[in-house]
Amino acid sequence: MIQDYPLKNLTPDLADLSPENIKNYIRTESMGRKLICLETVDSTNNEGKRRSCAEREGTVIVSNRQTAGRGRLGREWTSPGGKGIWMSILLKPDLPTAKIPRLTMVAAAAICLALESVNSSLWGKVQIKWPNDILLRGKKAGGILTEMQVSGDRLQSVVLGIGLNVNLGEGDFPEELRTKATSLFLETGVPFNREVLIAEILNCFEPLYQDYLREGNLGESLEICRRQSAVIGKKVLLLEKGAGQEAEVLDLGPQGELLVKLANGHTASILSGEISLRL
C-alpha cells in the first residue's frame, strides 16, 4: 500500500497529467505500461476504439478533459479539465463475449481498493451501485463504461472506460447533477493526486483481471463488490424503459448477476440493467 503521497498538484485545476509521473507509481506487468496522455479528446473510449487495432492489451488512454464523455445508452458524462480521471484501458481478453460485461465489476472492485489504498479515510466508505456506479455517501463519484468491438461473433477488443470525479468542486457539475454527484475532494476536503490514483487503479485492476481470465469467475472481485455493495439488502426500483418495478436485493450471484425478491414474492436473477435506490 502506498500512502502519504506528496500532493504535487495543490492547485487541482492547473494540474497536468504526465505519463512519466504516472509510470513512477505503476507496479504492473502490462496495464498502463503504454500510457497515452491527452489534453483534450471527445471520449477516451472513442480514442480507445480508434486505436484498438494498433495498440496492445493494457494500453491506457487518459485525457485531462473530454468534450463528449459518454455514459451508458449514450448518456452524457460531465468531464471538465484538470480535475477528474477520464481514462480507458484497452483489453484483448480471450473470453467469450458473454463474459465481457462483468469486467465492469472487476474495474469497480479495483477502484474501491485503489481509493482505500491512497486515502485511509475512505476505508469502507466507497460503495458500488450495481452494476457500474461508484458512490460516496450515496452520491455518484464515478462510473464505468465497458464497450466491446466484435467482428462476426469474434471478440476483437474491449475498451473499459473509467470516470472518477477527483478534485471537482460543486460548481464543476451542471446544476441538475449537484444533488446526486460528488467528488473525492468534496467528500474528504483534500485534493488528490490524480497521477498516483490512476497508477493505483491500474495496480489494483491487473491482478483482479488476471484472476478473472484464469478462473473464468469473478472470485475476489465479487467478494469486494458484495462487501462494498450499495444495494444488497435494499429496496430498489428495477428500471426498464422508463417503468420501475419494486424489488428487494438479496445478493449478487456467482456471475455478478443481481438476485432480487420481487413484490409478488418471486425471486429473479437480473443479468443487466439499471436500478434506482430512490424509492
In the complex, which residues of this chain contact ligand BT5 (CB under 6 A)?
43-45, 66, 69-73, 75-79, 86-88, 132-133, 140, 143-145, 161-163, 165, 177, 181
CB of 180 to ligand BT5, least distance (A): 7
Compute the chain's Rg from CA coordinates: 18
CB nearer to ligand BT5: give 40 or 267.
40
CB nearer to ligand BT5: give 214 or 241.
241
Residue nearest ligand BT5 (C-beta atom): 143
CB of 6 to ligand BT5, least distance (A): 26
Q: Where are the beta strands (DSSP E) in 153-218?
A: 154-165
CB nearer to ligand BT5: give 42 or 211.
42
Amino acid at 32: G
CB 174 within 8 A of CB 77: no
Grid cell for residue 81: 479539465
CB nearer to ligand BT5: give 42 or 57.
42
CB of 228 to ligand BT5, least distance (A): 16
CB nearer to ligand BT5: give 145 or 225.
145
CB nearer to ligand BT5: give 19 or 71.
71
Q: Distance between CA 101 and CA 26 in Å, rounded? A: 26
CB of 61 to ligand BT5, least distance (A): 9
Coil, strand or helix at 112: helix
Grid cell for residue 255: 456471475
Amino acid at 104: T
CB of 181 to ligand BT5, least distance (A): 3
CB nearer to ligand BT5: give 145 or 236.
145
CB of 50 to ligand BT5, least distance (A): 12
CB 61 within 8 A of CB 87: yes
CB of 88 to ligand BT5, least distance (A): 5
CB 212 within 8 A of CB 218: yes
Long-range contacts from 145-150, C-beta under 8 angstroms, 24+ separation: 145/45, 145/70, 145/71, 145/72, 145/77, 146/100, 146/101, 146/103, 146/104, 146/107, 147/45, 147/49, 148/97, 148/100, 149/49, 149/52, 150/97
